[in-house]
Structure 1
Amino acid sequence: MECGFSPIVGFRFSLHPMADDFVAIIKGALEETDTSAVWMHTDDVSTVIRGKQVHVFNVAKAIALNAAKTGKHIALSGTFSAGCPGDSAGDVYLDMGDAVLNNDHTRQYVSSQFALYPMNNPSYMDMIYREVDRAKEHGVFNESMHYASGIHGDIHDVFNFYEEAFSNARSEEYKHLVMTVSMSMNSPSHGGR
């Protein structure tokens, strides 16, 4: 079945609080986030959110920020995906407007890494280099590394870059796109940032 340029975007992620009360931190972050604009399911390993791109990125950022606001060292690892063949459950959420529901502007330093995987696109390296250059222009580029690129800065700037990179990498010709992200917040190695 050809999925077309599906407007559905998904994000499957796991939160890893470095604290004894990790269950309360994870549940608290999920409960404090307005998730009414996305389809969401949590199991014993991860959570998936799906819907319009603007809401998926907004909810992802809000969950990360709400976990980080506990002051505990938080790691998050996840995969954004669009154009996955057969991805249709949650279509009802595509009727949501574009106004985001989570608007907390608390500053939070994030050190992260991302990798873009434009499926079947023979020019994938050009696309990746273009987004790395754009990260440098936006002041969020940290370093080059094997299998990923380092991105850091305030959580709002980092998520803005990630959403723009995801948008820029999508195309009508090559519909299936995957982007992985790993991030760390409140780490002792961040030197008090």
Structure 2
Amino acid sequence: MTNQPVVCGTSRIVGCNISLHPMTDNFLNIILGTLEKVDTSRVWMKTDDVSTCIRGKAHHVFATAKAILAYASTHEVHVAFHATFSIGCPGDTAGDAYMEADDSVPNKEQVREVADSIYVGSQFALYPMNEPNYMGLIYDAIGTATKHGTYSQSKHYASRLDGSIEEVFHSLEQTFTETSEKTSHVVMTFHASVHSPSHSGNELEIRGSAHVK
């Protein structure tokens, strides 16, 4: 048996696996309440005991992921949020995706005030798959985040982003979209922390915004 080369896919479906971890005994109510509150009418979504999978058009997937973090953050407990985004996976198919949904963006106005006012410390790592110039694309992404004012430092295996939820997700979506226009298969990991005790004195000194309760 000969090994066949894996060819990256051409599907423009964006998928995302999210894990949400509120640091409180009331974590279950926060997770379920958040998922119930988010408008998921433009994406395919399924939740199991490990993560929530979202699939659809890029702007719908990012808007939904941002809304999940924003709504969970209104409880003002420490929240950890982990997401893996992917486009162009060789095994992706047209099933389980809402690629025919219209381009309107649910949750956008509903979460804007929250997303603008809550600080998030985060890091992302970009993986342009089967791409010889992968480091060039990674540096381009860091350049985009730098222009947005969210890039704060590089670290081992990731780059740090700081700002409001709105600002950080704007950087994430644009870097992911720009990279996917240059190469067919892209994976991006994102790890975020909201209301961490270690953020004391750093929370958006923050443009004078009060947290939305």
2:34 touches 2:71 (CA, 8 Å); kept in 1?
Answer: yes
- Structure 1 SS opposite 2:130: coil
Q: What pairs with 1:31-180 in structure 2 (closer than 5 Å)?
A: 31-88=36-93, 89-91=95-97, 93-102=98-107, 103=109, 104-105=111-112, 106=114, 107-171=117-181, 174-180=183-189
- Looking at structure 2, the residues matched to 73 and 138 of structure 1 have their Cα atoms a distance apart, in angstroms, of 25
Cα distance in 2 for partners of 1:5, 1:171 equals 11
Structure 1 Cα separation of the partners of residues 8 and 101 of structure 2: 20
Could you tell me how far 1:2 is from its partner in structure 2?
Answer: 6.3
Q: Which runs of 4+ in 1 moved over 4 A?
A: 1-4
Correspondence for 1:187: 196
User: What residue ranges of structure 1 are gaps of 5+ in the alignment?
Assistant: none
**Alpha-carbon shift at residue 171 of structure 1 (Å):** 3.5
Q: Which residues in structure 2 correspond to 1:7-46 (within 5 Å)?
A: 7-46=12-51
For the Cα contact (< 8 Å) 2:162–2:168, is it kept in 1? yes
Q: CA deviation at 1:86?
A: 2.4
The C-alpha deviation readout for 1:23-62, integer Å capped at 9, x for no partner, is 0111111011001111011000111000011100000000
Question: Matched residue of 1:77: which SS?
Answer: strand
Question: Which consecutive residues of structure 2, in runs of 5 or more, have no partner in the other structure?
Answer: 1-5, 204-213
- How far 1:4 moved relative to its partner? 4.5
SS at match of 2:161: strand
Contact 1:11–1:79 (8 Å) recurs in 2? yes
Identity %: 50
Comparing 139-148 with 81-90, which one deviates more in the overlay? 81-90
Paired AA for residue 198 in structure 2: S
Query: 1:99 aligns to what SS in structure 2?
Result: coil
Q: TM-score, normalised by structure 2?
A: 0.86
Give the whole-Å Cα distance in 2 for the aligned partners of 1:54 and 1:130: 20
Is the Cα–Cα contact under 8 Å of residues 37 and 51 in structure 1 kept in the other structure? Answer: yes
SS in structure 2 of the partner of residue 34 of structure 1: coil
